[in-house]
Structure 1
Amino acid sequence: MSEHHDHTTDRLARALGWASLGLGTVQLAAPMVVSRLSGVDDSVRARRAVPLTGVRALLHAGALPGGRRPAPWAWSRVVGDAADLTMLRRAAARRRGHRRRRVMAVTAVVAGITAVDLYTAARARRQRLSGTGERGMDLHAAITINRPRQELYLYWRDFENLPRFMAHLESVETRGDGRSHWKARGPAKTAPEWDVAITEDHHGELIVWRSTSGTVGSRGLVSFTDAPGGRGTEVRVNLKYDPPGGKVGAAFAKLLGEHPEQQARDDLRRFKQVVETGEVIRSDGSPEGTRALRQARQRPAQPVKSPQLVK
């Protein structure tokens, strides 16, 4: 599944949230109008149920558009849809003529909304189970490299090249059929290891991968497009990353200057150096290259005090 598809779940959740806001507002502001349009204005109980349904819709509106965990709220919408369909079925059975037609029309609309809610809830659940959905961090980085698109694609496609410019990787072992085993830098007994599978591969344009097992949950996408004006290739990386230790681990890493967002940008800079010059350029001040932790320990230059003149 690609990164684009992951964002689809977020967009669907936001759209459902805004739809709930509009519907809930109308149900609370004009319950009689909603009852008449629904064909249930002849029932006191049905008229009283309209504003209650509006309150439920507003609760979803507050949770879904910016929610970090859309799955529970999407499933709660499905439960509410089932209750609404049950009530509408009973209402249709008790009415005739134009009221029955209105109830049936509303039933068809609610059934369509239910299908969208089910689809969104199922997608959100798959993301949660994969370990790269709601809990993960969404990282983005881009760079322009003065090399042909095909060359950059082929270099990245051989995942065993990745440790040459990804500072957090110790090694990558390819195992055929788009599968590989990744090992992070760290003490031998505690270094995270995980298996990766390529899920999409468009020659010269796009590579998408995801972790299938191990201690790190991740999903990544790298795209290659021709830069304007013949300036080479634009390389864009999108990562969903579930850091070891969850949010606490991510916060601690950020304090140490090793936040994954910074790592992604540093990795792309090193990638540019490797493919353009053949090596990662290091200076005397930073012999290990661009490392956020190293630079966090550096201090700004201070003016040198003038020596006191001997009287």
Structure 2
Amino acid sequence: MTNRLARALGWASLGLGAAQVAAPGAVGRLAGIGDSAPVRGTVVLVGARELFHAMLLLGSRVPAPWVWTRVAGDILDLTMLGRAVATRAGRRRLRVVAVTGAVAGIAAADLWTALRASRRGVGGPDERAGNLYASITVNRPRQEVYRYWRDIENLPRFMIHLESVRVTGDGHSRWRVKAPANLTVEWDAEIVEDRPGEMLAWRSLPGSTVGSGGLVRFADAPGGRGTEVRVELRYDVPGGRIGLAVARLLGEHPEQQVRDDLRRFKQIVETGEVVRSEGSPEGTRAFRQVTQRPAQPVMRGFP
């Protein structure tokens, strides 16, 4: 219940922030605080802050603890509106008073939600931002599925963020990953446990630029439907929880990434290739689906 309320507040922040950033003059006039350049600048800043609240509340799996950021923003808003009430007169002052009352009501809802989350411990030890779990069923025999994954140089074929994995010998490998701004990140990893046909576990070596590890389990699916592949990953989130919230909002959360990767893995093992289209040339990917459209035939010129 508390998390649902927090998410509803996130949608409110999104709508309000978008309006403030897109039309600061109109918002200022409606609120009775004016349409001067300083006012418009302040409204845009407040709108950007509201969008930040929306990012945290809508991007987090357990959003309730982030409501405290809205409470802090409410205090700032009420302080600024109180000053505006003291300096306006007539109908403009009445508008500011009305807006102040509305903000006070919203602040009460924010505070109630934040206190409720704190009393119940929402988002405490249950939110393990650095661990994720995903699974998929592949319609192929277990040994075949294991062998494909065990050849870790195959991983870039279905893990879209991986540029390469190069085996360096003795259970060690060199991983190269795409990063924002056309950068790449590399680190060394090692296989720490290998049970043929059952389980494979790995981790980055001490001192690596990326701290990560995980394991994948292979089991016969019920009813002879192939192989259940279960992945458990541990990772370090750049930027901590805020970075995680940003990633979730952009569709690049590690949990979504690994689910997309597993769907591509299933396609490769079952059909030999990733299903692609003109509308989604890299195959299944969450961020692409935000603006997904029906694929169109590739137009060819006529001689």
TM-score calculated relative to the size of structure 2: 0.53
Distance 1:253 1:226 in 2: 34
After superposition, give the CA deviation of every residue in 1:54-83 in whole Å (9 maximum; x if it has no partner).
xxxxxxxx9x9x8559xxxxxxxxxxxxxx
Alignment correspondent of 2:249: 255
Alignment of 1:1-311 (within 5 A): 68=125, 137-186=130-179, 190-212=183-205, 213-298=207-292
Distance 1:189 1:290 in 2: 21
Distance 2:168 2:181 in 1: 21
**SS at the partner of 1:254?**
helix
Q: What code does the residue aligned with 2:197 have?
A: G
Q: What code does the residue aligned with 2:191 have?
A: I
Distance 2:209 2:128 in 1: 14
Instruction: Give the alignment's Cα RMSD to 1 decimal.
Output: 2.7
- Which has the greater radius of gyration? 1
After superposition, give the CA deviation of every residue in 1:182-201 in whole Å (9 maximum; x if it has no partner).
11114797312111111111
Among the aligned pairs, what percent are the same residue? Answer: 68
1:299 Cα offset (Å): 7.1
Number of residue-to-residue matches in the alignment: 175
Question: Residues 192 and 214 of structure 1 are in contact (CA less than 8 Å); yes or no, is this contact kept in structure 2?
Answer: no
After superposition, give the CA deviation of every residue in 1:22-41 in whole Å (9 maximum; x if it has no partner).
xxxxxxxxxxxxxxxxxxxx
1:244 Cα offset (Å): 2.5
Query: Unaligned stretches of 5+ in structure 2?
Result: 1-118, 295-303
Question: Residues 256 and 296 of structure 1 are in contact (CA less than 8 Å); yes or no, is this contact kept in structure 2?
Answer: no
1:136 Cα offset (Å): 5.1
Distance 1:277 1:219 in 2: 28
Question: Residues 146 and 232 of structure 1 are in contact (CA less than 8 Å); yes or no, is this contact kept in structure 2?
Answer: yes
TM-score calculated relative to the size of structure 1: 0.51
Distance 2:180 2:190 in 1: 25
**SS at the partner of 1:192?**
strand
Distance 1:241 1:218 in 2: 4
Distance 2:193 2:176 in 1: 22
Q: 1:68 to 1:189 in 2, by over 3 A?
A: same
**SS at the partner of 2:290?**
helix
Query: Unaligned stretches of 5+ in structure 1?
Result: 1-61, 70-133, 301-311
Q: What code does the residue aligned with 2:141 have?
A: P
